[in-house]
Amino acid sequence: MVGVTMPDREITYANAIMEAMCEEMRADPNVYFMGEDIGVYGGAFGVSVGMIEEFGPNRVIDTPISETAFVGAGVGSAITGMRPIVELMFSDFMAVCYDQIINQAAKMRYMFGGCMKVPMVIRTASGGGTGAAEQHSQSLEQMYCHVPGLKVVVPSTPYDAKGLLKSAVRDDNCVIFLEQKLLYHEKGMVPEETYTIPLGTADVKREGKDLSIITYGRTVQMSMAVADRLAQEGKSIEVLDLRTLSPLDLDAIINSVKKTQRAVIVHEAVKFGGFGGEIAAAIADSEAFYRLSAPIKRVGALYSPIPFNPILERTVLPGEDRIERAVREII
């Protein structure tokens, strides 16, 4: 009915992603989906269960185990008018098709003076915490962010995942859409009515005045838990979820730090050379620097491959304890 707002309902992060894909495929016949085991099997993480029954094998395409081939096919179809959603089963497999992403998808629109578009989304599971070991557990978002021509999205909630993915599918550039594995079963409120979230807009997940935690992906939930605990001690922590790393919402970062005068940057990726360094540099190069009353702290994974052993894996990856320690050091 016109004028009636549909109620929100609680769904998982995985279901939110599937809804976004299905809605865009129903709305635009040029949108299609391909990847390894995404059709009959329903995806390695169950994200696409049932999609092949609705859209058929010509729009939900099971590919061979050759990322070079099917990512390259996605680039080719995108420049000829299609809008492919390509799933890399694990973000680590980007190494197999790096040339197709970095030298083709990211650069072709520029090389042809804007006459050619590459409206392609590469969805991929990122991060650790599942015991999948070194070659299936990395967080490599900083490698994509370094490449002009790519947009990089890392949603932390079902609501954000759906709205951002719909925007990514409609974008005329190649978008890397990183889904951290431990979020797939997380639930959140998502409207039944259609909506989008613009790429490049951060979101204040919690208002605060004493310190800003700047983060993205599943470390948003960790940071929120730390902020909740410290609130019991009277400490007011702001949690800023970047959501999109490229384009980056610099205004949101600067405004948050100017308000709280302290910053802790948190991500699951290895701290050394990680995206947190770019955020820290952006703060240092802005008017927010002159408002700082303490050093900027960064929290990330240790400089190590991700171990298979669960105890060692938990040691390498950042957790709530490490985030809380960094906050207490400067608050």
Question: In the predicted model, is pLDDT for residue 125 greater than 60?
Answer: yes
Q: Alpha-carbon dihedral of residues 186, 192, 196, 202, nearest 10 degrees?
A: -40
What is the predicted pLDDT for the residue at 4?
A: 44
Helix axes 320-330 and 219-231, enclosed angle (nearest 10): 50
Give the tens place of pLDDT for each residue, 221-273: 999 999 999 999 999 999 999 999 999 999 999 999 999 999 999 999 999 99
DSSP string of 17-84, one letter each residue: HHHHHHHHHHH-TTEEEEETT-SSS--TTSTTTTHHHHH-TTTEEEPPS-HHHHHHHHHHHHHTT-EE
Give the tens place of pLDDT for each residue, 272-331: 999 999 999 999 999 999 999 999 999 999 999 999 999 999 999 999 999 999 999 998
CA distance 39 to 26: 17
DSSP 8-state code for residue 181: G
Give the tens place of pLDDT for each residue, 149-184: 999 999 999 999 999 999 999 999 999 999 999 999
**Contact between 123 and 45 (Cβ < 8 Å):** no
What is the predicted pLDDT for the residue at 160?
A: 98
Question: Hey, what domains does the chain have and what are their CATH numbers?
Answer: 8-191 (3.40.50.970), 203-330 (3.40.50.920)
Cis peptide before 247 (omega within 30 of 0): yes
CB-side neighbour CA atoms (13 Å) of 101: 28
CA 198 to chain centre: 14
Question: In the predicted model, is pLDDT for residue 208 greater than 60?
Answer: yes
- Verify whether residue 136 is a known catalytic residue: yes
pTM of the model: 0.94
Q: Which of these, 306, 316, 276, lies nearest to 134 by C-alpha position?
A: 306
What is the predicted pLDDT for the residue at 1?
A: 37
CA angle 232, 236, 240 (to 5 degrees): 125
CA distance 195 to 11: 15
